[in-house]
Amino acid sequence: MSQKFDVVVIGAGPGGYVAAIRAAQLGLNTACVEKWVNDQNQTVLGGTCLNVGCIPSKALLDSTHKFHMAHSEFKAHGIHTGDVSMDVPAMIKRKDQIVKNLTGGIAGLFKANGVTLLEGTGKVLANKQVEVSKKDGGTEVVDAENVIIAAGSVPVNIPPAPLTEGLILDNEGALEITETPKRLGVIGAGVIGLEMGSVWARLGSEVTVLEAMEEFLPFCDKDLAKDAQKTLKKQGLDIRLGARVTGTEVKGQEVTVKYTDAKGEQEIVVDKLIVAVGRRPYTEGLLAGDCGVQLDERGFISVDGQCRTSVPGVYAIGDVVRGPMLAHKASEEGIMVADIIHGHKAQMNYDCIPGIIYTHPELAWVGKTEQELKAEGVKIKVGKFPFAASGRAMASHDTEGFVKIIADEETDRILGCHIVGGQAGELIAQAVIAMEFGSSTEDLQLTVFAHPTVSEAIHEAALACDNHAIHVANRKKR
């Protein structure tokens, strides 16, 4: 007789494990299926984010930023360190330990909350049954009152640059480089490409980023993108836009990358090449032909605003559905769906999902860009405040960037916030909270911000929307 659960979650990434824990907290008999195994063939939780994505990349970014500060910035504080070097294998070991601690922590949370872990690959069958293909070759079919699909995504590979062990790498392979390459090529100037390029540029690599798009970071506000491009160029990233890769050739331990741009056919020779052109939903082998779950024209699982699929009782969240591929978006969808299954009224505000790029300075945003709002014909007012005018930022020797707030000219409601700066990823949460509660710029103007803090820049940007900024000259009134 097969096991029966109130909820079966497929995937233990940031969407799946959160959904499973929340469902179990609500008293639902919950199981979570996970196929990810480590080098010891042990099942590990956390999905791409914890194992080969968000967490390990941030560990490398933090280590290399500290190295860069010791090498290039400490002297501004009067700190003399002498020769500074980076032990790359030690850096990788630290990254691996962080991953181990966090994935093990999720296993502990499963036990504490009573979530049953089913080790293997999940497949949705008809009638809300889930087939689990185990590591030993066996299979098990479990029955579910509700199924939550949280299978995640996988890197997009491109024919001109087939992965070659140790030389042409995807984002997972990029995290395992054990010595600083003299020349590093990156295909794609998106989040992953810029973050990985920054890691190795700080350690001395000559980094060339090839981006097919003519515009840098087209999904960002143009002011943010312009500032970031200038700063990253100053940091040593050679970002070439409109560069379409046409082929690669491996000779010995070198990779020749051929591409075309406005000047015609070009090529570069690198020691390592990272392919970071995006991700696609992971649905291969996930859905039985008669399960009834439908895909859209882009290969994502079709869902409504509350993540319901075409089959009652079957939900899908995270990277396999529409919207930005972000861990926090997946987590909140997981909580929403678990609450809905339990009978609670739950919804998610998709207009208030922040995005972050963890270069230095960081880029962070929420809401719409100035360009989007103008294209929609919305009358807006804009307030900006540079960190160069922030006393706390000056004291920290971290004054690059600014805060930009956009509001409706008539209602004063905040429609977007865009930040480039050393702590942008932390500061953006204040704007997210404000927008979630429908705040106006006046609400922020009347809020008391501690001094001296970098968060005062948000206060000043809100004041600047009405030409009332105190610590920077305001625009002349029209």
Q: Computed over its alpha carbons, how large is the radius of gyration of the chain?
A: 24
**Cis ω on the peptide bond leading into residue 160 (within 30° of 0)?**
no
Q: Please indicate whether residue 71 is annotated as part of the active site.
A: no
Could you tell me whether strands 279-281 and 414-421 are parallel, antiparallel, or unpaired per DSSP bridges? Answer: unpaired
* Residue 65, CB-side half-sphere exposure with 13 Å CA sphere: 15
Burial of 308 (0-12, 13-18, 19+ CB in 10 A): middle
CA 110/CA 159 separation, integer angstroms? 40
Show Cβ contacts of residue 344 under 8 Å, excluding neighbours closer than 6 positions: none
| CA distances for 409 relative to 80, 369, 378, 439, 460, angstroms | 50, 15, 8, 14, 17
Hey, is 8 helix, strand or coil? strand
* Contact criterion met (CB below 8 Å) for 413 and 443: no
Q: How many CB atoms are closer than 10 A to CB 342?
A: 17
Catalytic position from the list 451, 459, 468, 471? 451
Contact 66, 58 (CB under 8 A): no
How far apart are the C-alpha atoms of 258 and 267, rounded to whole Å? 4
Angle (CA) 61 74 389, round 5°: 85
Catalytic amino acids? 451
